Structure 1
Amino acid sequence: MSLRPDLAIIAANVAPGSRVLDVGCGNGELMAALRDQRNCDARGLELDAGDVAEAMAKGLPVIQGDADTDLPDYPDASFDYAILSQTLQTTRRPDWVLEQLLRIGERAFVSFPNFAHWRVRASLLVGGRMPVTRLLPLKWYATPNIHHVTVDDFRALLKERGIIVEGYWFLSGDQRTGSAMANLFAEHAVFLLRR
């Protein structure tokens, strides 16, 4: 099974043998790849009970929990990497969750959909409605996305908080794209961060 493109980038850039916490791990797809291909000690936190059961059936150590409330239970620097993939925009306090990731892990991977992508802008401009796209498939009233983050918004938050960017990758569709004008042309962003 091939990983979603943002997860493949993360998996390729996690050091072998690392201790990893995947927050919002879904069914454990990334965790399984990290365990099987990178020999990582990967653990997960997931809100959805069905996804927790599916991940556990794969032999993965996943607990049911909420990024908005349960991250303080983890000790400082208890992981080499804390990962939050396609989950930041669903949390109540993304800034607080980001701070927790960088407290728990020496480094943090964060990936998110870019709500400033030109297709999203065009949908609003031409149709006057919130977009429904391949990457944002649910209507506005059914989406779990409560914070519409953009690449530039995220960069501004990192600068404001003094967070260091060690790496970044941008995706258009399932292909990598350059960083020039990423706020306009990237559908997804992946950042590797540290304090």
Structure 2
Amino acid sequence: MALRPDLAVIAESVVSGSRVLDVGCGDGALLAALRDGKGCDARGMEIDPANVAECVARGLSVIQGDADKDLAFYPDASVDYAILSQTLQTTMRPDRVLEELLRIGRRAFVSFPNFGHWKVRTSLLWNGRMPVTRLLPIAWYATPNIHHATVNDFRDMVRERGIKVEQAWYLSGDRRCSPAAASFRAEHAVFLLAR
């Protein structure tokens, strides 16, 4: 089974044999790929009990937890990579969650939908409505997304906190796109961060 495009970028970039914590790991697809394909000590935290049960049934080391509350229980620098894929925008305090990721991990991967993408802008401009797209398939009133950030918003947040961007990837659909005008062109972004 092919990984979602942002997860594929992360899986390619994680060094073999690393210790990894995937926060908001969903069904565990990335954890399984890192464990089986790269020999990583891959662990996860997931808020949805059905996803936790699915992960455990697949032999993955996953606990039920809330990124906003439960990351405080992890020791400093306990993993090589802390990963937060398509979860940042669902947290109550993305800034605090990001700080916790970089406390727990030597590096952090963060991926999120870019709400500055041209399709989102066009939907708001022409229809006056929040978009429903292939990559944002849930209506505004049912979406778990509570913080709608753009690529530029995220860049500003990490710069203000003195966080280093080691690498960034931008995705349009299932393909990578150039960083030129990424805030307008990219549907999703993936950042590798460090202190």
Q: Same fold (TM over 0.5)?
A: yes
| Residue 60 of structure 1: how far off its partner (Å) | 0.3
Alignment of 1:1-195 (within 5 A): 1-195=1-195
Q: In 2, distance between residues paired with 1:178 and 1:191? A: 14
| Residue 6 of structure 1: how far off its partner (Å) | 0.3
Q: Deviations over 1:125-173 (max 9, x none)?
A: 0000111111110111000000001000000001100000111100000
Q: In 2, distance between residues paired with 1:27 and 1:113? A: 19
Q: Deviations over 1:19-47 (max 9, x none)?
A: 00000000110000000001000000000
| Residue 91 of structure 1: how far off its partner (Å) | 0.1
Q: In 2, distance between residues paired with 1:108 and 1:128? A: 36
| Structure 2: 5+ residue stretches without partners | none
Q: In 2, distance between residues paired with 1:7 and 1:130? A: 25
TM-score of the superposition, structure 1-length normalised? Answer: 1.00
| Residue 118 of structure 1: how far off its partner (Å) | 0.2
Q: In 2, distance between residues paired with 1:186 and 1:55? A: 30
Q: In 1, distance between residues paired with 2:95 and 2:177? A: 26
| Residue 113 of structure 1: how far off its partner (Å) | 0.2
- Corresponding residue pairs, total: 195
Counterpart AA for 2:58: K
- RMSD of aligned residue pairs (Cα, Å): 0.3
Counterpart AA for 2:110: V
Counterpart AA for 2:108: A
TM-score of the superposition, structure 2-length normalised? Answer: 1.00
| Residue 7 of structure 1: how far off its partner (Å) | 0.2
| Structure 1: 5+ residue stretches without partners | none
Runs of 4+ that moved beyond 3 A? none
Q: Percent identity?
A: 72
Aligned to 1:169, the other structure's residue is in SS state: strand
Q: In 2, distance between residues paired with 1:94 and 1:34? A: 25
Aligned to 1:133, the other structure's residue is in SS state: coil
Q: In 2, distance between residues paired with 1:148 and 1:104? A: 25
